[in-house]
Amino acid sequence: MFELTNKTAVVTGAGSGIGKAVALTFARQGATVHVLDVHAQQAEQTVAEIREAGGQAFVQQCDVTKQQDVVELFQQIGTINILVNSAGISHIGKADTTTEADFERVYQVNVKGVYNCLYAAIPVMKRNGGGAILNMGSIAAVVGLPDRFAYSMSKGAVYAMTLSVAKDYLHDNIRCNSISPARVHTPFVDGFLAKNYPGQEAEMFQKLSKTQPIGRMGTPDEISKLILYLCSDEASFITGNDYPIDGGFIKLNN
């Protein structure tokens, strides 16, 4: 089950965190993975790990905010059966403390970056007879989180784009879903704690972990397993849905 042999996958933001875990998982299941990241060195590390394990992968340095670069790259890849839009950034701030520059920065990566990849990948998938798209959402799209104004905006847009794409390409055999993680222990979390709570990292890590009813953060590998399912042929009857993977945050946090 969940075999991806003879499938080509593009994973954005695959140099670290959830994107990296997805790339590694896809490769283990037989996919040829194009590891797309703005940071070439991180992408190279992911590809090295895949190849060491006997998988097939290629480094693709690309800034998802630049549409022409994305279009040219996807045309070069030629066959895309799976697209995972995992590249994203966060921001701490409320509506009246988020600067225009920070709002625009989040929008460019988290909204326009997803759009650019959809814009480039869908024509390729249509020529190839279909495909599966997975967008990285967040519980922030449906739950009010403190100090996450711009980030929540961006993930709400991702949710809406997911539904729109799923509806528009039903007859092109293109499926589109999203997932909504709660807090996941990635390098971003460690960097955030080190920057904002120096000397209190362990204490704050526990505090953040316990905001989820299950009592801990998720792991990138756990997230990658749900993504694997939704992008596999076993999920061929699923499109236009968002799947929380949140340790009970949305339904049990009251």
- pLDDT tens-place string over residues 169-224: 999 999 999 999 999 999 889 988 998 899 999 999 999 999 899 999 999 999 99
pLDDT in tens, 28-78: 999 999 999 999 999 999 999 999 999 999 999 999 999 999 999 999 999
Q: Both 102 and 113 in a single domain?
A: yes
> Are residues 198 and 155 part of one domain?
no
56 found inside a domain: yes
pTM over the 0.85 mark: yes
In a domain, 3, yes or no: no
- Verify that 109 and 152 share a domain, yes or no: yes
- 151 is annotated as an active-site residue: yes
Same domain, 22 and 43: yes
Residues 76 and 124 grouped into a single domain: yes
Domain count, the chain: 2
Is the same domain home to 126 and 155? Answer: yes
The SS3 assignment for 177 reads: strand
Tell whether 191 and 118 lie within a shared domain: no
Write down the catalytic residue from 107, 151, 159, 243.
Answer: 151
209 is in which domain, residue-wise? 185-217
Alpha-helix runs per DSSP H in 128-148: none
Query: Is the domain of 64 the same as that of 100?
Result: yes
Q: Which residues contact 241 (CB under 8 A, 6 or more apart)?
A: 166, 177, 178
How does the average pLDDT of the chain come out, rounded?
96
Residue 254: inside a domain: no
Same domain, 40 and 89: yes
Residue 253 confidence (pLDDT): 82
Smallest CA-to-CA distance from 11 within 237, 224, 240, 246 is with 224
Q: pLDDT tens digits, residue range 84-132?
A: 999 999 999 999 999 999 999 999 999 999 999 999 999 999 999 999 9
Contact 137, 155 (CB under 8 A): yes
Same domain assignment for residues 104 and 189: no
